[in-house]
Chain A
Amino acid sequence: MSKETLTIEKLCVRIGEKEILKGLDLKVCEGETHVIMGPNGAGKSTLGNTLMGKSEYEVTSGKITFMGEDLLAMSTDERARKGLFMSFQNPVEVPGVRLSEFVRNTCEAMGEKMSLWNFKKAAGEQMKVLGMDKTYLDRELNVGFSGGEKKKAEIFQLLMLKPKLAILDETDSGLDVDAVRTVSEGVKAYQEQTGGSLIIITHSTRILESLKVDRVHVIADGTIVCEGDSSLVDEINENGFEKYIGK
């Protein structure tokens, strides 16, 4: 049996007074790719942010084990250093901080000291995978980036940081066909380079085309209502979520 990277047991989460996740279970093993689908407002981003440790997401009960350790006891930055990564649905703009400066800082935080020369070289190689121009390194982090550019910058960081588990929160939403293909290439490169695990939150099959999907989970109203293999993705795309809601 392969090693468990992430185990979520009976997770309940609320924001303020509102209960959003209501007893969610999920297990992801080393090198596996899981897909999470579900209608808007189902709690998908909440799951990602809870895993990442965003402060307003209050875990009222349940347990999360990551790489054999209690994830909930760690701060956000500790989780990242343990090998957890999330590609944000809406990456925030950080004026005044250049992409290169930021990513160098993140690499350093991960314990990877690189000379400027080696950093530029490594960055250049990963940007090539994503068809990103090197001039992006000098731009302010996400400032004025188009939707597609923001998502590519997220995948660029995924490739630089090489986490054990990456959560991609609608990384493909709102992108044109070519951009989705590029991002998908980037995700594939991550898998090939690191053998890491993936949780892909998506509404479409396109980002999954070049990936081998191990398991598909459907979230509705804060719990997993249906699970299956990759054929479930096509089924949902054909018939929608109706069948699973209010079940």
Chain B
Amino acid sequence: MSGNLIINSLVPPTWNRLKVNEYELPLPGTLQQDTAADAFKTAGAGTAEGSLHIQTGCGKELSDALKEKGIIPKQILIKGPELVTSKIDYSGDAADVICIKAEEGQTLNILTDITSSADKAAGVLQILIEAAKGSVVNLSQLVRAGRDFTFVNDIGVVLEDGAGFNLSQVFAEGGRIISGYMALLSGEGSSSNVHAGLVRKASQFIDMNYVMRHTAPSTRSETYVSGALMEGGSKTFRGTIDFVKGCAGAEGAENENMLLLDDTVINKTVPLILCDEENVAGSHGASIGRPAEDMLYYMMSRGITRERALKILEKASLDSAVSYISDEKAREYVSSAIEGI
């Protein structure tokens, strides 16, 4: 494999002047596998060889590269709604493809906690999810890797009739985060709910590509990103709601709420609503660059130092994503984890 991978690509690529069409990832030469699969095993889940072919947010180039490098997909077997907490710690360059199937009517609660004990390294976690009729999958993700760590978080979900996928992501720490998400809403009345909270500072960045593809009638997607940027932190968010012909009555909403805490930050947003169907409702809302200075002034006028006020605002940016974690144990886990950051 030579050269960089082109991932997180926007379709269609029309925003060239902003340089936000895609992300170029230098993938390490050798990648350990099963870091994540073993973490699931430790958490009590069974594993087997998996074979799901699901499109992800990062895209085909990443999936192909992982295959080429011999990464074998692992199926994670989870029986019931009892929370499975997978603590994934990267000690070197590593990649995993995790497959999860929710059977008809099943509810799954999964939490991934990403840390890194090796700093200058990269971890790739691809999670492919198939949600059968009427099933609900609640996935919560906490990322608190090292300042020099590159983490590629790539999710693909296929939803059958009435299935629901709820994703809460808390991007607290980690030097470079590349996050892809693709939901294929192919079952009537299926839904995707994403709440992502992020803090980027000290030149950390995150590159997000989220695609909600509605192909079936009465499908719903809601995507909410809240975050705080400071000290050279940067964020690119591509949010695509794709209404494909035949998805009559579908509704898609994306919303962003970014707090820009100084003028060294880079905040790029590419909202895209593609529409091939008449009877749909798509919306994009953003309150970007909220009056952060006024908030800081208000807080300081009550005796709180600027440093402390920034911390409070940072935590608040993550908290809204935490509050949407439906499993109580998972919510408490993430909440107390970010308390100490």
A contact set with B: CB distance below 8 Å: 52, 54-55, 75-77, 79-81, 85-86, 88, 91-92, 94-97, 101-102, 105-106, 109-110, 157, 161
Contacts and interface: CB of A to CB of B under 8 A. Distances in A.
A95 B291 CA distance: 11
Interface stretch (B37-45, B78-86, B131-139, B310-318): B310-318
Contacts of A55: 293, 297
B295 interface: yes
B29 to A, nearest CB: 42
Interface in B264-320: 290-291, 293-295, 297-306, 308, 312-313, 315-317, 319-320
Given A55-B293, A96-B226, A102 B317 contact: no
Interface residues of B, number: 25
| A-B pairs, 7 with minimum CB distance | A96-B316, A109-B303, A80-B303, A106-B302, A76-B300, A77-B300, A81-B303
A88 B298 contact: yes
B326 interface: no
A131 to B, nearest CB: 22
B257 interface: yes
B230 to A, nearest CB: 15
Given A80-B303, A161-B303, A95 B320 contact: yes
B235 to A, nearest CB: 17
B300 A75 contact: yes
B251 to A, nearest CB: 24
Nearest to A79: B301
A129 to B, nearest CB: 19
A80 B302 CA distance: 6
14 contacts: A52-B301, A55-B293, A75-B306, A77-B305, A81-B303, A94-B316, A96-B226, A96-B315, A96-B316, A96-B317, A96-B319, A101-B312, A110-B303, A161-B302
Q: Considering residues B299, B312, B319, which has the most beta carbons from chain A within 10 angstroms of its beta carbon?
A: B299
A62 B313 CA distance: 35
B303 A92 contact: no
A102 to B, nearest CB: 7
Contacts of B297: 52, 54-55, 76
A102 B317 CA distance: 15
A97 B303 contact: no
A85 B304 CA distance: 12
B196 to A, nearest CB: 14
A94 B303 CA distance: 16
Interface string B23-66: 00000000000000000000000000000000000000000000
B304 A86 contact: no
A151 B304 CA distance: 20
A97 B312 CA distance: 7
A75 to B, nearest CB: 7
Nearest to A87: B301
A84 B291 CA distance: 23
B60 to A, nearest CB: 37
A75 B305 CA distance: 9
Nearest to A49: B297
Contacts of B298: 88, 91-92, 94
A110 B302 CA distance: 9
Contacts of B295: 92, 94
Q: Considering residues B257, B302, B304, which has the most beta carbons from chain A within 10 angstroms of its beta carbon?
A: B302
Contacts of A109: 302-305, 308
A40 B92 CA distance: 64
Given A76-B300, A96-B315, 17 more contacts: A52-B297, A77-B304, A77-B306, A79-B301, A85-B301, A92-B294, A94-B299, A95-B290, A96-B313, A96-B319, A97-B316, A102-B299, A106-B303, A106-B304, A109-B302, A110-B303, A161-B302
Contacts of A110: 303
Contacts of B301: 52, 76-77, 79-80, 85-86, 88
Contacts of A95: 257, 290, 316, 320
A68 B3 CA distance: 67
B107 to A, nearest CB: 28
A106 B316 CA distance: 16
Given A55-B293, A92-B291, A96-B226, A157 B302 contact: yes
Contact of A77 (B226, B257, B303, B316): B303
A92 B320 CA distance: 19
